[in-house]
Amino acid sequence: MVGGVPRRAFEKLVEKALERLPEEFRQALDNLAIVIEDWPDPAIVEEITGDSEEVLYGLFTGTPLPERRFDDSGDLPPVIALYQGPLEEDFPERSELAREVEITLVHELAHFMGFDEDTVREYGYE
């Protein structure tokens, strides 16, 4: 438990968010690992944002679908990390937390699928 939400309860929020995904997002889940971590590594946050104090709720790492090639098949799967600590800290109400988990998950999935920010907005996730 990072803050007030036990890990299993947070995992349930992620599972429910996965169930609510639009069909084209659910189809992209094959060969993709989704992990929950307590907090992001400050060095990674600084590398991505330029500021180690910046808030990061999730992170996609790996090769986006449009860039994958047949000979990538032996590589480790792409990963979406969801960071429970910052999400919980910024969204203490359970309903707000559930919504932000879904938004973060879709946002990171969109990176995996090669979508730009405008396309993500079209789905209602900013």
pLDDT tens for 104-113 read 998 899 888 8
Mean pLDDT, residues 19-38 taken together = 88
CA distance 3 to 92: 9
Q: C-alpha dihedral over 16, 22, 28, 29, to 10 degrees?
A: 10
State the amino acid at position 51 in one-letter form. D
Top-level class of domain 7-122: alpha beta
* C-alpha radius of gyration, the chain, whole number: 15
pLDDT digits (tens, 9 = 90+) for 33-82: 999 999 999 999 999 888 888 899 999 998 888 787 766 666 678 999 99
pLDDT digits (tens, 9 = 90+) for 84-95: 999 999 999 999
DSSP 67: G
Helix (H, G, I), strand (E, B) or coil at 95: helix
